[in-house]
Chains A and B, each alone.
Chain A
């Protein structure tokens, strides 16, 4: 893989990361925020795979497999927490979750 192609992948991954981070900071629904986290993790995955191909080394691809697995666990826990939150109140919005402040 040439440096030009690598740059293309990195730019794409940077854009994905920015979209995820912006979404996480701007959107207020916990479900959408969870999806934004996934976009960020996948941006990192794309960078890992592009670098693995560039260096001709499998380490980056192995890292990606592990990240995908961890992300699945993270989502499972995240959804459970969101369900728990909805049980306490009909909060569809993280702005409603504000009992703790000061």
Chain B
């Protein structure tokens, strides 16, 4: 029974090992991508089969299987599957060691799995480290490119600082409660007289996880890392790594630090406000595509953080919905960026000029995904943002909801700049644009899911309402 519950983790670890073996013998590295997609689908089936199972803790409470964890695993697998689909040509053109890329991205996802499927600090910490250590290498995989090494060293130094800060916060939680299980910690904190130490633990943990989700003022590594890293890695980090950070933030704040939650709501609301405003305002002046998307990711993290700050069941539901929609629209947009950079390596926003004439399908897909990122119907991004907005109003943070609306307006120019370049630019350099089947498939899935989440959100929202963060 226990092994059925952690079958997804077993399958994913197995996939990583199979890829490791295949890398030694396979002549065509494309077979690794195919095996990766198959393994991801198998894991997805195992995760879906565990939905609705009564929450269970196994191995002395070190692993917890509940719908909250399963849902995040679905998000990670969606991202992993899309990365497997669209990376091949990019890696081939840039002479990246493909075997290592596929293996590391699989193990990074395994780390994210462990982060979300536990209420035990030790497991959360180990999952976090597995994910980030694999990510450091991934960010530096363009070994000929000095910018990629720079992205890697910046990510590494900030990431190491982050893990030190989080670890210190965790040690304080252990000290206050004598336990590393979040439920026991919450019980101990409720009666603990050491309010100063509880506050200190909260500061360390929120600051540490703030680095992970690239919230202002802990964001300085993010634009450089996302710009310098290989584009598929940027897509993975912006979506999967951020979602894992949010999942842990929710678990620790709403379960472990629940007795002290009230004092953090305002702090988190201010961080959310500053993060979205800074991200949007800075994104306007960017001329390089990946850097623009990096600042846009910071702004989007601010929107999602609204859900944590409001901290009601409605806001958590809205957050969960938005994170899935966000994964689809961001990874989809990156698929177009990758397609384009396979032909034009410069990665400037100018490169989008005349895309509508050369490749109308891609231009239309990109337009839809960008509209979703702005939050315009009928897309998943619109519905998710609306739900977040409504939860903020109902949760008594009207100013934050208002800030979200104003920020969505600020974000229009830079997203529209890309659309304008695609449709209105007169001269278009003649060039054949083509892509492999995998990338087309990934982009198709992302666009279809973004539209589906916008047109028929009800079934998913109905399901998400049943998800409990609290045990």
Contact = CB atoms under 8 A, between A and B. Distances in A.
Interface of A: 10, 13, 17, 20-21, 24, 30, 33-34, 37, 40-41, 43-44, 47-48, 50-52, 54-55, 57, 59-60, 62-63, 66-67, 70, 73-74, 77-78, 80-82, 84-85, 87-89, 94, 97-102
B136 interface: yes
B161 to A, nearest CB: 6
Interface string B141-158: 001001101111110110
Contact of A51 (B164, B175, B286): B175
**A interface SS class:** helix
B161 A88 contact: no
A47 B133 contact: no
B51 interface: no
Given A40-B164, A88-B146, A81 B180 contact: no
A82 B153 contact: yes
Interface stretch (B165-173, B209-217, B299-307, B390-398): B165-173
B133 A74 contact: yes
A89 to B, nearest CB: 7
A10 B136 CA distance: 31
27 contacts: A17-B168, A21-B164, A24-B161, A33-B157, A34-B160, A37-B164, A40-B165, A41-B163, A41-B164, A44-B171, A47-B168, A47-B172, A57-B179, A63-B125, A63-B170, A67-B125, A70-B125, A70-B133, A78-B136, A84-B140, A85-B153, A88-B146, A89-B146, A94-B153, A94-B157, A97-B150, A102-B223
B129 A63 contact: no
Q: How large is the interface on B (under 10, 10 to 19, 20 to 34, 35 or more residues)?
A: 35 or more
Given A41-B163, A100-B147, 14 more contacts: A21-B165, A37-B164, A40-B165, A47-B175, A50-B175, A51-B171, A59-B122, A59-B179, A63-B180, A70-B125, A77-B136, A80-B137, A81-B149, A98-B150
B326 to A, nearest CB: 24
Contacts of A100: 147, 150-151, 154, 223-224, 227-228
A99 to B, nearest CB: 5
Contact of B146 (A70, A77, A99): A99
A25 B160 CA distance: 12
A24 B163 CA distance: 13
B150 A51 contact: no
Nearest to B151: A100
Nearest to B178: A55
B228 to A, nearest CB: 5
B150 A85 contact: yes
Closest 8 A/B residue pairs (Cβ): A40-B164, A55-B178, A51-B175, A47-B171, A44-B167, A88-B146, A100-B224, A37-B160
Contacts of B165: 21, 40
A84 to B, nearest CB: 5
Given A40-B164, A84-B140, A73 B133 contact: yes
B126 interface: yes
Contacts of A81: 136, 140, 149, 152-153, 156
Nearest to B150: A97
Contact of A84 (B125, B126, B149, B157): B149
A33 B170 CA distance: 22
Given A30-B153, A100-B151, A100-B227, A59 B167 contact: no
B171 to A, nearest CB: 4
B133 A44 contact: no
A97 B167 contact: no
A84 B291 CA distance: 23
